[in-house]
Structure 1
C-alpha cells in the first residue's frame, strides 16, 4: 500500500500530531508499506530532516501565527497537489487537517484519491482561549468542509466523536492512541531527580507535561502553589512559560524533555495534572498512567475516556477546576490509596499498544479502499464549494 500523509505538524516540531504521525510511519515501515509526508518546513533556527525511515518528507513554506508562533503553520501551495500526483498514493492520510490538510483534502478530491482525516486538534475550542470565540462558527464550517470531503474521519475519543457528529461531520469512527509501555514505565523512577526537585525529601511531586500554551490551562495549578507539602514541576516549553513562571514562583520548570529524560520525569511524579478542556485525546495522561502515576483531568474532551474516577485518578469540573484541585490532590496522594492508584494506572494501559492501533488503522484504510473499488464514481460525491473566505486564504487557487 502507498500512503501519503499530509500533516499540519511534523519534526522538528514535537507535539501530539507529530508523535502520532511518527508512530504511523513506523508501523507502515514495519509492515513493508510505502509512504511519504507533506509537512510544514522548520523554523529559521531548526534543522529539517529530509526523510524518516527512508520515507521522503516534502516541505512547504511556513508562517508564524500571532500568539501561537511556536507552532509553524504550513502554507498551502501547488506543490501539495504536485507531490501527491507524483507519488500516486493509494490513500491519503490527513493528520489534524486544517490549513495544509485542507489543501490536501481538496487535492485528494481533484486527483480522485480516497482520503482519511484524523481529527486531533479542537481548533474551535482553542479559539476561545485566544479570545477569538467569534471565529468558532467559521472554524466549524471549514472543519466540516474538510472532513466531509474525506471518505472517513477518525476521532480519538467518545466526546470528540459526539462533537464532530453534532457539527454535521459524517462517517466518523474511533481510533485512539497507543502508548509505549517500555519507554514509559514505573521502573524509570529516579530518586536522584526527585532530590533535585525536592531537596527536603518531604514533598509530594505534582506535575504537568506538555506545551505551555493558553489552551492547556496550566494556570489552574496555581491553587497548589505555595503549599509546603507539594512541589510543582512543569515539564515543557511554549509561549506561556514566562507568565507561568511568574504565576508559579515555587514551581520547577524543566523546559521541554524527550526520550529517556521525559520517561524519568513522568515516573518520578507522584501525581499528574492536566487542566486543559480542549484535548481531543490527551496522550500525556496515557504516558503518565503507563509510568504508574495517578492522573487528574478535566471532565471534558479526551480525558473522559482515560480517567476512571477513583481507579486511576479523578475528573474535575472545568468551571471549578482550580478550586477543586487541592482536595482532589489530597485524596489521590493519601498513602492508604496512592500505591493502589499507581498500580491501577499502569494496569489500565497495558493493552494500548501502538502495534494494535497501527493494525486497526490499516484496517480502516482497507475498508475505504474496498468501498471506493465498489463505487468508484459516486463514493466521492459532488465536489463541495470552497467557502469564499477560505478561497481567499488559499490565494484563490483551485484544488
Structure 2
C-alpha cells in the first residue's frame, strides 16, 4: 500500500525552531521530493501559509513559556475531511495532536504518533506533584488511540511501555550528513570563529540547544577552572538570564540562536561537544555534533545512551556526577589525538542516518499503520 497523502498535525512549527519543527520540515521535504501530497495543521504561531508548496493551516492557540499551545478546534475535522489523507502523522501530540488522533480513529484514518517531548519529565521538574502521573495518563490515552507510536530511543520506548503505551516502535531522527561535516573545520567561517573564541589556541567546548531549565546548563559550572578551554553556548530561550548569572565565573561566550551555515560553522569551530540535559527523548544536537566529527560528552540518561558509545565516540557521565563531566572534558581538551579518533568514530556511527533514509523508514511505518487500520475495519486488530 503506497501512501500518497499525509496530514501532519504538529504541536510546533515555523517560525519556532526546535527538534519537533526540524523533524517535521525534513519529513515534509521527503514527502515533496518523492511526489507525495501533504498538509500541515499547527497552533497559531505566525507560521508561513505554505512550506515548499505544502499548505499550512493554523488553529487557535495560547502562549506558554514562549511556546504556542494548540487548542482543540473544529477546523481539524473539517480539514481532514477536505484533504482526505491516507495517514495522519501526529508530531509530539498533546492537546491539538490528541484531538487529531481521536478524530482519525473516529473516521477510520490510520494514525502514527511521534513521541518526542518528555511531558512527564517536565511535570516532575516543575514539582507539579501528581502532575507527572497525570501527564502519563494523558500520554497513554493519546498514544493508545493511534495505530502506531514511534519513539526515538530505547529509554523512551521503555518509559512508554512501562506507562502502558502499546504498539511502540523505534524510529530515530535523521541528520544532514552533507551540511554537518568535518570538512567544515577547514572553512573560513569556522576559522574566523575559532580566532574570535580562542585567540590563544584554547580547546573550544561547545553546547548547542535551547537555553532553558530542563537543559541542565548549570552542569557546565563543573568546568570552572579547567585550564586551556573556552566554553561557547549556541542557542536561546527563557533561561538565558539565569544561565548567564549562574555561569558568570565560567565566562562562556553566548552566540545566540544560529541556523544554516552559521550553525554549521559553530559546530566546526568546536573541539568538544558537551550536552547537559538529562531528560532528552533523543538528542538531535548530539547527532549533528557527531556528523561534524566532534567527540560528545553527555549524561548517561535518556536518548544520549543510544547516541554516545562511551569511550569510543565520547563519554557518558552520571547526571549527578559533576566531577565525571569535568574529567571527561579535561581528558579531551588535553588530547587532540583522542578528540580526532572519537570524532571520526562518531561520524562513522551516524553515516546511515541521512534524512532520506530515515524518512523512508517512516513511510514504512505509515504503511504498517494503514494495514492495522484496515484490519481494524474488518474486526481484526492486533494488541
TM-score (norm 2): 0.94
SS at match of 2:100: helix
Is 1:28 the equivalent of 2:22? Answer: no
Is 1:138 the equivalent of 2:137? Answer: no
**d(CA) in 2 for partners of 1:80, 1:205:** 47
From the superposition, tell whether residues 379 and 27 of structure 1 become closer, same or farther in structure 2 (CA, over 3 Å).
farther
Q: Pairwise mapping of residues 161-310 of structure 1 onto structure 2 (< 5 A)?
A: 161-189=157-185, 190-201=190-201, 203-249=202-248, 250-310=251-311
Structure 1 residue 70: deviation in Å?
1.9
**d(CA) in 2 for partners of 1:76, 1:17:** 19
Aligned twin of 2:63: 64
**d(CA) in 2 for partners of 1:13, 1:154:** 23
**d(CA) in 2 for partners of 1:266, 1:335:** 16
For the 8 Å contact 1:184–1:291, the answer to whether it is kept is yes
For the 8 Å contact 1:272–1:296, the answer to whether it is kept is yes
For the 8 Å contact 1:7–1:101, the answer to whether it is kept is yes
Aligned twin of 1:83: 79
CA displacement 1:111-134 (0-9 Å, x = unmatched): 221111010011101222222243
The runs of at least 4 consecutive aligned structure 1 residues that moved more than 6 Å come to none
CA displacement 1:188-219 (0-9 Å, x = unmatched): 22121011112222x11111100111111111
**d(CA) in 1 for partners of 2:382, 2:361:** 26
Where in structure 1 are there 5+ consecutive unaligned residues? Answer: 383-399
Structure 1 residue 331: deviation in Å?
2.1
SS at match of 2:204: strand
**d(CA) in 1 for partners of 2:129, 2:168:** 25
CA displacement 1:3-31 (0-9 Å, x = unmatched): 11110101010100001101111111111
Structure 1 residue 280: deviation in Å?
0.8
Structure 1 residue 372: deviation in Å?
2.5
From the superposition, tell whether residues 297 and 145 of structure 1 become closer, same or farther in structure 2 (CA, over 3 Å).
same
For the 8 Å contact 1:112–1:380, the answer to whether it is kept is no
For the 8 Å contact 2:87–2:109, the answer to whether it is kept is yes
TM-score (norm 1): 0.90
Of 250-259 and 125-134, more deviation after overlay is shown by 125-134
Aligned twin of 1:107: 103
From the superposition, tell whether residues 328 and 98 of structure 1 become closer, same or farther in structure 2 (CA, over 3 Å).
same
**d(CA) in 2 for partners of 1:141, 1:374:** 27
Where in structure 2 are there 5+ consecutive unaligned residues? Answer: none
Is 1:129 the equivalent of 2:132? Answer: no
Is 1:11 the equivalent of 2:14? Answer: yes
For the 8 Å contact 1:10–1:39, the answer to whether it is kept is yes
CA-atom RMSD, angstroms? 1.6
**d(CA) in 2 for partners of 1:323, 1:132:** 30
Aligned twin of 2:332: 332
Structure 1 residue 293: deviation in Å?
0.7
Aligned twin of 1:391: none
For the 8 Å contact 1:151–1:380, the answer to whether it is kept is no
For the 8 Å contact 2:147–2:372, the answer to whether it is kept is no
Structure 1 residue 183: deviation in Å?
0.5
For the 8 Å contact 1:225–1:232, the answer to whether it is kept is no
For the 8 Å contact 1:91–1:115, the answer to whether it is kept is yes
**d(CA) in 2 for partners of 1:377, 1:215:** 45
For the 8 Å contact 2:101–2:146, the answer to whether it is kept is yes
Aligned length: 373
**d(CA) in 2 for partners of 1:2, 1:239:** 37
**d(CA) in 2 for partners of 1:317, 1:140:** 25
Is 1:41 the equivalent of 2:44? Answer: yes
**d(CA) in 1 for partners of 2:68, 2:155:** 28
SS at match of 1:153: strand
Structure 1 residue 381: deviation in Å?
9.6
